[in-house]
Structure formats: structure tokens, C-alpha cells
Amino acid sequence: MPARDFLLWLIDDGEANHQAAITTVATLPWVRLERFYSGMEAVEAFTAIEASGGRAPDAVLMDFFLVGERGDQVTAELRQAEVRSRLVIIGYSSVHSGSAAIIAAGGDLVLRKHADDRGVNPSLANWLRSLRRG
């Protein structure tokens, strides 16, 4: 069991995906969610954290199709910005081609972006719960 809360970042430009992540994390009180609508905003925040020694996220959910950006490019930029942290970067997509590109750019795994009738993403919830058990 983690000694501290799990910090999860979501980088996605879709409001419905933010709402599903919020609803999912609300079922897991040990997970803290920070949300970004822009990959560059997240890269800037992460770079500042790495420089200051602040709290880096434990994992990043990375959308592939961002307005004016691509998730694989943002993934590569996050990897280049890593100094002391090692992020778990998750391709978060409903289309596997985008997720495969995120993996090729240095991502770690893929989770399906979807929500059940309660608004919870079961793939995300199950992955987070597996961390708690592991």
C-alpha cells in the first residue's frame, strides 16, 4: 500500500474525459487528480517541478489527439524533462493507433478511455486499484 497519496495527472482536451476521471478518482480517496487541457501546460508544470524538487506525478494519462498537439510528442517532451522523477505515462485513448504512438514515444502502457453508466472509467479504476493491492 502506498505510503502517500497517488498523484495522477490527466492531459486531455475533452471535458467528458475530465469528468470521467473526476468521477473515477472520487471512488478512490487515496488518488489525487490534477488536470491539464494542454500538453504544453503540463510539460511546463512538470519541468518546473523537476527544477524545484516539488512533487511530481506518479502517473500521467496522456490523450493522443489534443488541439494543436499530439500525445506522442508531449510524451517525448515529458521524457526529456525527467531529471529526478520517472513518470508512468499511460496512453489514454479510445483509438489504439494513438496509444501505440504514445508507447513508441516512451509511454508505459495503454488504458481505454470510456465510462460506465455511473460515469466511472472501469479500466482506470481497476488499474489504480491494482497499484493499491500490489
Q: What is the pLDDT of residue 96?
A: 63
Q: What percentage of the chain has pLDDT greater than the value 90?
A: 84
- Tell me if the pTM is above 0.85: yes
Sheet containing strand 31-36, edge to edge, reads 31-36, 6-11, 59-62, 88-93, 109-112
Contact 88, 68 (CB under 8 A): no
Could you tell me the sign of the dihedral formed by the alpha carbons of 97, 128, 52, 17, in that order?
Answer: positive
pLDDT at 3 over 70: no
Extract the C-alpha cell encoding 15. 471535458
Q: What is the pLDDT of residue 132?
A: 84
For residue 2, name the pLDDT band (cuts at 50, 70, 90).
very low
Dump pLDDT digits (tens) for 92-111.
887 666 778 899 999 999 99
pLDDT at 124 over 80: yes
Using alpha carbons only, how large is the chain's radius of gyration in Å?
A: 14
pLDDT at 1 over 70: no
Question: Which of 35, 39, 22, 30 is CA-nearest to residue 3?
Answer: 30
For the segment 125-131, the average pLDDT, to the nearest whole number, is 95
Structural domains of the chain sorted by starting position, each given as residue range(s) with its CATH number in brackets = 6-133 (3.40.50.2300)
* Maximum alpha-carbon separation in the chain: 41
In angstroms, what CA-CA distances link 34 with 8, 37, 49, 88, 95?
A: 6, 10, 14, 15, 23
Dump pLDDT digits (tens) for 20-79.
999 999 999 999 999 999 999 999 999 999 999 999 999 999 999 999 999 999 999 999
Question: Which of 107, 41, 110, 34 is CA-nearest to residue 69?
Answer: 41
Q: Which of 82-96, 103-117, 118-132 has the lowest mean pLDDT?
A: 82-96
